[in-house]
């Protein structure tokens, strides 16, 4: 780590540049520990103007800039390379909610806001900001926007991209693009702002966003349901969507091994059901009406599904404590996977109609061909997104298991493509999946992406080597 070049300190002031090695350390590795980089400096601007001047200087001097938000990414998108020539740019000091307009159901938040703080601000204004992720207490809005984050309520409310009305972005040359309007209708040519979402900081640095709000949730019913298999889970979703008037907000698939791993590794997690089953669904119905008896509605719909053989057993949470316990089981599966040992992850999505067949075929391939791994397939089945992960099986070699990563990934991702799915549903591309994007995107699509990159960042200073290379 070198001392920050003087112009950077001139732009940001000494408090806007980290110098202590211990302070810099967290910015050099990713959440999963896949990458470790070096940095020229870590920049902490406190205004959009400072971001603009910093980027203009980096652009003139051909210095790479790596935007870094809550560092909860799974693909190494926020980690600098090993050259020590890149500036890590954190917007954590741009963390104000600039305004809330409850009548317009909108809010303007700066990129460094923690997601949970935005949810809270909306709640205090009797509104809902619906993006919901396991990492919501740490991740930042800028990262959510740049990676087009998903999570557990996409089924009802969409991904981050769907929740945006306008953006403020600093371009590679320091110009500021402001489309921070909170309009719902604005057909004025190309939707330029849409390009920055999912671009992972390779086209510009998002500094603020106008976000959509919804009516605050005042009634909730949550159930943990054992189902005979994945086909029944998919059918149950449409049954419950109809029965609830399309008010299912979450529908998460949880396999037996998800319960085994969490009860083993996470204190306080218990199997909610008395008997052991292979497949489960955690589903939630919500309404903005306080007087709704959603528990009764859900219980009745599940009883009917039991009669038709789509449900084997179920428990409906009786209070907030029980509801929180069910969510804890689901949300700690990744942590339980980590505590259990080595894992291989595939963040895939499929047309929901092909999902059950995919789990059967790919699951069988793994069972026969990968004795070193145990399938841990869980996730947001309501929107077709599965975390088709593997954990190392007991008594096998860690090196051999991890050494098969590329081969297994190829088979799984090829199967995903054959089923009409995506090899990156909600975790993005980052550095990890650049080669996958090259393999699975069509030449036309790749060509267009490269043209866009060149138009927005001709000197290639923005998050170099991420998404495209």
Which residue minimizes CB distance to ligand 2HG? 334
CB of 332 to ligand 2HG, least distance (A): 9
CB of 255 to ligand 2HG, least distance (A): 13
Based on CB atoms, which residue is closest to ligand 2HG, 323 or 330?
Answer: 330
Quick one: residue 232, left, alpha or beta (phi over 0 = left, psi -120 to 50 = alpha)? alpha
Based on CB atoms, which residue is closest to ligand 2HG, 92 or 330?
Answer: 330
Based on CB atoms, which residue is closest to ligand 2HG, 312 or 370?
Answer: 370
CB of 262 to ligand 2HG, least distance (A): 11
Based on CB atoms, which residue is closest to ligand 2HG, 52 or 337?
Answer: 337
Q: What sign has the CA pseudo-torsion 391, 392, 398, 403?
A: negative
Tell me the CB-side half-sphere exposure of residue 25, using CA atoms within 13 A.
4
Long-range contacts of 15-23 (CB under 8 A, 24+ apart): 15/44, 16/43, 16/44, 16/45, 16/46, 16/50, 16/93, 17/41, 17/42, 17/43, 17/44, 18/42, 18/44
**How far is Cα 194 from Cα 467, in angstroms, rounded to an integer?**
16
CB of 334 to ligand 2HG, least distance (A): 3
Token pair belonging to 122: 């909306």
**How far is Cα 243 from Cα 265, in angstroms, rounded to an integer?**
36
CB of 405 to ligand 2HG, least distance (A): 14
Based on CB atoms, which residue is closest to ligand 2HG, 52 or 140?
Answer: 140
CB of 135 to ligand 2HG, least distance (A): 8
Using an 8 Å Cβ cutoff, are 69 and 88 in contact? no
In angstroms, the Cα distances linking 438 to 333, 387, 434 are 30, 21, 6
Based on CB atoms, which residue is closest to ligand 2HG, 105 or 358?
Answer: 358
Residues binding ligand 2HG (CB under 6 A) = 134, 334, 345, 379, 387, 389
Tell me the CB-side half-sphere exposure of residue 121, using CA atoms within 13 A.
23
Residue 390 backbone dihedrals phi, psi, to 5 degrees: -130, 140
Based on CB atoms, which residue is closest to ligand 2HG, 247 or 345?
Answer: 345
CB of 348 to ligand 2HG, least distance (A): 10
């Amino acid at each position: 780590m070198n001392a920050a070049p003087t112009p950077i300190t001139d732009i940001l002031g000494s408090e806007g540049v980290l110098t202590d090695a211990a302070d810099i350390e967290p910015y050099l590795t990713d959440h999963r520990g896949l990458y470790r980089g070096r940095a020229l400096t870590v920049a902490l601007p406190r205004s959009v103007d400072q971001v603009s001047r910093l980027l203009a200087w980096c652009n003139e001097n051909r210095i790479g800039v790596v935007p870094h938000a809550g560092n909860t990414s799974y693909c190494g998108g926020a980690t600098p390379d090993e050259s020590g020539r890149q500036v890590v740019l954190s917007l954590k000091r741009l963390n104000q909610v600039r305004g809330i307009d409850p009548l317009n159901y909108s809010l303007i938040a700066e990129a460094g806001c923690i997601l949970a703080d935005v949810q809270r601000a909306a709640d205090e204004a009797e509104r809902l900001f619906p993006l919901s992720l396991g990492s919501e207490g740490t991740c930042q809005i800028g990262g959510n926007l740049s990676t087009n984050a998903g999570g557990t309520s996409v089924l009802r409310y969409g991904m981050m991209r769907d929740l945006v009305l306008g953006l403020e972005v600093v371009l590679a040359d320091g110009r500021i693009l402001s489309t921070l309007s909170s309009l719902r209708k604005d057909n004025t040519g190309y939707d330029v702002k849409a390009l920055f979402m999912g671009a992972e900081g390779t086209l510009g640095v998002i500094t603020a966003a106008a976000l959509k709000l919804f009516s605050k949730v005042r009634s909730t019913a949550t159930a943990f349901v054992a189902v005979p298999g994945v086909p029944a889970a998919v059918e149950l979703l449409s049954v419950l969507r109809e029965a609830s008037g399309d008010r299912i907000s979450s529908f998460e698939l949880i396999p037996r091994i998800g319960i085994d791993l969490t009860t083993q590794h996470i204190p306080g997690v218990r199997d909610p059901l008395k008997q052991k089953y292979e497949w489960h669904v955690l589903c939630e119905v919500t309404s903005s009406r306080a007087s709704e008896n959603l528990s009764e509605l859900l219980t009745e719909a599940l009883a009917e599904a039991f009669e038709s053989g789509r449900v084997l057993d179920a428990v409906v949470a009786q209070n907030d404590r029980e509801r929180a316990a069910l969510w804890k089981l689901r949300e700690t599966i990744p942590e339980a996977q980590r505590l259990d040992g080595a894992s291989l992850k595939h963040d895939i999505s499929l047309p929901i109609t092909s999902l059950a067949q995919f789990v059967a075929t790919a699951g069988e391939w793994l069972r026969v061909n990968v004795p070193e791994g145990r399938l841990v397939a869980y996730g947001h089945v309501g929107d077709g997104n599965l975390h088709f992960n593997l954990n190392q099986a007991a008594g096998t070699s860690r090196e051999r298991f991890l050494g098969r990563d590329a081969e297994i990934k190829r088979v799984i991702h090829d199967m995903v493509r054959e089923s009409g799915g995506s090899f990156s549903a909600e975790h993005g591309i980052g550095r990890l999946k650049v080669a996958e994007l090259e393999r699975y995107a069509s030449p036309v699509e790749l060509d267009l992406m490269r043209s866009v990159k060149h138009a927005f960042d001709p000197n290639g200073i923005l998050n170099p080597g991420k998404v495209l290379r």
